[in-house]
Amino acid sequence: MPFTFLQHMADTRSEIAQLGEFGLINKIKHNVSLRNASSLVGIGDDAAVIDAGNDCVLLSTDILLEGIHFDLSYMPLQHLGYKAVAVNVSDIAAMNGTPEQITIGLGLSNRFSVEAVELLYEGIRAACENYNVDLVGGDTTASSSGLVLAISVIGRAKRERISYRNGAKVNDIICVTGDLGGAYMGLQVLVREKKVFIDNPAAQPDLENHEYVVGRQLKPEARMDIIHELADLNIVPTSMIDISDGLASEVLHLSKASNVGIKLFEDKIPIDNNTFDTALEFKLDPIVIAMNGGEDYELLFTINQLDFEKVKNHPDIHFIGHTHENSTQNILISKAGTIVPIQAQGWKHF
């Protein structure tokens, strides 16, 4: 039997890159069934939803791998620790929930000292304090491939206040927080300075005029402030997702999950001046970067038109488009009035 099984695997090999991350997730999801009544929502959203009596528990896990998700030649360990917590908290924010606990799985190669681990946890503790989250456990093991961080976050929300990806309705207003593209441009600056250092180790990093975008890459913030403000205004987004893989990718997720079309307007998409100027410096189109950059960890959400009056003057919520009935038509209207199909070009994990 083992030989037959292995032979079958060899005869039917498919490359993960052909499916991509989300194709692989869908394939796994298709073969998974929920057996417990308490498991309300499983694979397919920013967090799983588990019945816990009066409230629901939200659960999400992220893995960060050295050489894939971060480069320690320009990522300080304190910043890495903070970012690792923030990106997990962002998943709970994207469900309109509140984070409460995290656990951390840590893989360490022998090049890391006790002092290095202390620096990492200094950043983790700072993020826990900022987001009012408790570090309650985890696991530590040896790693043969550098630093590995696997974080699970546990949150809570009232069942009726959870925002899913599949809740958008026709003619909802599409909103985004903050500004987009900064994290990607920060990464480009850091990669450039690393190349300069490799060619000339005596060179000093030139980060002047790039502090904002570098900060967006090294120390992103989960937008829990927006979640609290929406709660104060008694607004429950009809759908929501955080922007980790780029605006275009996340828009397509909402469209597919909610079975609605998306229309965005280029002149409404928020881009910080420093991001805009840095993109031009690198001879990149700022709107392409804003649509596809990723790692901004802002919130993309939809609201009923009746809620618009409550947030129309919010300085950090931007109204970038609306949903419509044709779920196969996801478009961006350029400043010139041209219709551009939205296509995801962001981060590919495989």
Q: Do 21 and 95 reside in the same domain of the chain?
A: yes
Q: Do 205 and 327 reside in the same domain of the chain?
A: yes
In a domain, 84, yes or no: yes
Q: What is the pLDDT of residues 251-291, one digit of tens each?
A: 999 999 999 999 999 999 999 999 999 999 999 999 999 99
Q: Do 145 and 201 reside in the same domain of the chain?
A: no
Q: Do 226 and 328 reside in the same domain of the chain?
A: yes
Q: Do 154 and 204 reside in the same domain of the chain?
A: no
Q: Do 137 and 225 reside in the same domain of the chain?
A: no
Which of these three, 138, 161, 184, is where a domain ends? 161
Query: Is the model more confident about 188 or about 24?
Result: 188
Q: Residue 227 pLDDT > 70, yes or no?
A: yes
CATH number at residue 187: 3.90.650.10
What pLDDT, on a 0 to 100 scale, did the predictor assign at position 350? Answer: 43
Q: Do 151 and 190 reside in the same domain of the chain?
A: no
Give the integer Cα–Cα distance in Å for 10 and 5: 9
Q: Do 137 and 178 reside in the same domain of the chain?
A: no
Overall domain count for the chain: 2
Neighbouring residues of 138: CB distance < 8 A, sequence distance ≥ 6:
103, 104, 105, 106
What pLDDT, on a 0 to 100 scale, did the predictor assign at position 199? Answer: 83
Predicted TM-score (pTM) of this structure: 0.90
Give the integer Cα–Cα distance in Å for 35 and 250: 29
Q: Do 313 and 180 reside in the same domain of the chain?
A: yes
In a domain, 143, yes or no: yes
Half-sphere exposure of 191 (CA within 13 A, CB side): 10
In a domain, 71, yes or no: yes
Which of these three, 112, 141, 161, is where a domain ends? 161
Helix, strand, or coil (residue 222): coil
Mean pLDDT to the nearest integer, 242-253? 96
In a domain, 166, yes or no: no
Mean pLDDT to the nearest integer, 313-323? 98
Q: Do 181 and 251 reside in the same domain of the chain?
A: yes
Q: Do 263 and 337 reside in the same domain of the chain?
A: yes
Size of the chain, expressed as the number of residues it contains = 350
| Per-residue pLDDT band at 196 (split at 50, 70, 90) | confident
Q: Which of 40-49, 261-270, 313-322 has the lowest mean pLDDT?
A: 40-49
Domain extent, residue 153, equals 16-161
